[in-house]
Structure 1
């Protein structure tokens, strides 16, 4: 049987790192077996789902390299792939369950259900549906409907049954049906509940493996009961650990998460992102940058962790650095100029790349160095200002003379300045860098000085020499 996994997001916002990791793991497990990675859009929440978000998440998947082999606009063998368009399909299975007395209408109000849960908790019981509407007669149902009450539809959970399944990550899992209670499979507004349509679509689309976050673990017995009642096949489920933020809470925008759209716009490389995500909750034997093909080849369900994974932005930057190092100069320049506009003269581009590349993690870093190089009004930061202020103005006058004598050759400038100033090491290099760049660290000055040019360098050294203006 062909392995088929799926990613089934709800288009109610931009894709975040947790969603992306779910998509990545499912894609890698499919590709490892030369199987099919399916995309399905679960847009039954009509108030929050938008076409814009659906289009954006598909763009995000493609940017990450996670192109689907079945789904919207690709190999559509089980259409439609938008759940909002599958209402007639769900209606048939609702009817089948009702015909077999495996589902029934529930007219309980939200207030009644809330009171029931409070009473159960007060009695030391786990809250579950009390079965108030489970045995209404046809005449009682007709009377409720005549009053204009819109019912939900509940699945009639079998009594005293064990639901046992083998989780890809956590091994054998066991639940008792009596601990679950009859649950809603269709809301009062007619829209399907997640438990129901997610399970039905997995079966009809022949999904064989469904990897998702551990927060869905308790959904699994409900979905297995639904599929069993309808005599439909179930996928093998696997539930991996959640990603936590720095505060130990589930990762969100509040504690450091970024959307894939934000990452792309900031200039992150997709290969850096997938290499990082592949190691959140899964261990690889290699710590080197791997292609998607290699990540797929090495993925192993035995290496999926049970403990929550902690999001570490510094670790993500490590992978960005590795991914950037894999680019040649032309690719690096294309990455840079795709994200920002630089006004570096064409004859200086090659020198600019060699000067700033080791100091650039994101396009905005290069932008700052370009602005420093080209500005006619350099502003020193606080640290550079202090260095210049503590350096005798005679040093900068010596530097001006050495600049003209060397014709902008940094090595010659430094040799002459050593002789005339009597300084060396940090006491020579630090004030020179501070005056010429406005900062006390950065790219090699031998590369920067030709970019700055003699004219701008002269202005900056003159400003530093004018101690009265400091």
Structure 2
């Protein structure tokens, strides 16, 4: 399946930034937000802020409030969304969108392509070695019925279970805005994946496709660590008959130990950055990392709009130190 994107769509583009409120944002999060914002603003489009708080144990309302404040401090204004916005496509907190996800799960169940799964994570890890060297675990189909996919929906068991989606042995191809042509086999590279966990929590793959589809997102900008999940999402776009967005995956920003930034990198958290640097200094550092300017120099978002181009973005990871002015 060669999946076309909306890059040739002449309507005003719609982008989104969808952080998880599980702690303070770091430089890598802001790198993604800035480039997404610049891409949309350079073409006169709309930028949405969505709060991906599917993890009830780690997500906190106060973290969402703080990330909104950090974005506003940097000048990254949004046109729609945020933690308390209710329309036109609200709510914009995934934890409040369960009824919407359930509608689309019901639609997928009606295709006969879903089945109940009783495997625990421990079961799956014990029966399948990690895929290649990236740590992925491909589900072996332990709970898949013998005659499947079915021509009609399977009966829901009373016993608690997750819901999985069958994937065919089929290649998915798409063009990424930075890394070019990509292809992945759904069966061998992805495997049947979960739509809803046994505890009722919604899986990221379903939630992100439903949200982007309903919100009219035409461009998804995110880190290259999510590149492999794109095939699963494109498969869902096709089943749910949503228009496919353009995908742009960014090279990761790593610390001096060559590990991608996380919320544990306190020296590069927004809390530390705001104490040491002005918004223009942080934006200037991101612009230099993205090759939008030849070397580090403080600059404003407004200045960068006219300099922005996806063709300038590097394909290799960047290593950053605690002092971003170096």
TM over 0.5: yes
Alignment of 1:337-416 (within 5 A): none
**Whole-angstrom distance in 2 between the partners of 1:12 and 1:289:** 29
Match of 1:82 among 75, 89, 93: 93
Q: Considering Cα pairs closer than 8 Å and 6+ residues apart, tell me whether 1 or 2 has the greater RCO.
A: 2
Q: TM-score, normalised by structure 2?
A: 0.87
**Whole-angstrom distance in 2 between the partners of 1:16 and 1:214:** 16
Deviations 1:119-171 (A, max 9, x none): x98xxxx8521212221799xx76x944xx32111111022x11010100011
**Whole-angstrom distance in 2 between the partners of 1:110 and 1:145:** 20
Matched, 1:43 2:29: no
What is the DSSP-based 3-state SS (H/G/I as helix, E as strand, rest coil) of the residue aligned with 2:248? strand
Q: Tell me by how many angstroms 1:173 deviates.
A: 0.5
State the match for 1:271 in structure 2.
280
Deviations 1:197-222 (A, max 9, x none): 01111111011111110000001001
Alignment of 1:431-470 (within 5 A): none
Structure having the higher Rg: 1
Q: Tell me by how many angstroms 1:195 deviates.
A: 1.3
State the match for 1:164 in structure 2.
173
**Whole-angstrom distance in 2 between the partners of 1:256 and 1:46:** 23
Deviations 1:340-382 (A, max 9, x none): xxxxxxxxxxxxxxxxxxxxxxxxxxxxxxxxxxxxxxxxxxx
State the match for 1:232 in structure 2.
242
**Whole-angstrom distance in 1 between the partners of 2:257 and 2:201:** 36
State the match for 1:247 in structure 2.
257
Q: 1:83 to 1:313 in 2, by over 3 A?
A: same
**Whole-angstrom distance in 1 between the partners of 2:245 and 2:267:** 30
Matched, 1:219 2:241: no
**What is the CA RMSD across the aligned residues, in angstroms?**
2.3
Matched, 1:282 2:291: yes
Matched, 1:53 2:63: yes
Q: Which runs of 4+ in 1 moved over 3 A?
A: 252-257, 285-289
State the match for 1:301 in structure 2.
310
State the match for 1:317 in structure 2.
325
State the match for 1:135 in structure 2.
145
State the match for 2:128 in structure 1.
117
How many residues of Structure 1 are paired with residues of Structure 2 in the alignment?
Answer: 305
Matched, 1:93 2:104: yes
What is the DSSP-based 3-state SS (H/G/I as helix, E as strand, rest coil) of the residue aligned with 2:194? strand
State the match for 1:62 in structure 2.
72
**Whole-angstrom distance in 2 between the partners of 1:155 and 1:279:** 42
Q: 1:66 to 1:255 in 2, by over 3 A?
A: closer
- The unaligned stretches of length 5 or more in structure 2 are 1-10
Q: Tell me by how many angstroms 1:8 deviates.
A: 0.3
**Whole-angstrom distance in 2 between the partners of 1:268 and 1:128:** 43
Q: If each structure's helix is expressed as a fraction of its own residues, which one has the higher value?
A: 1
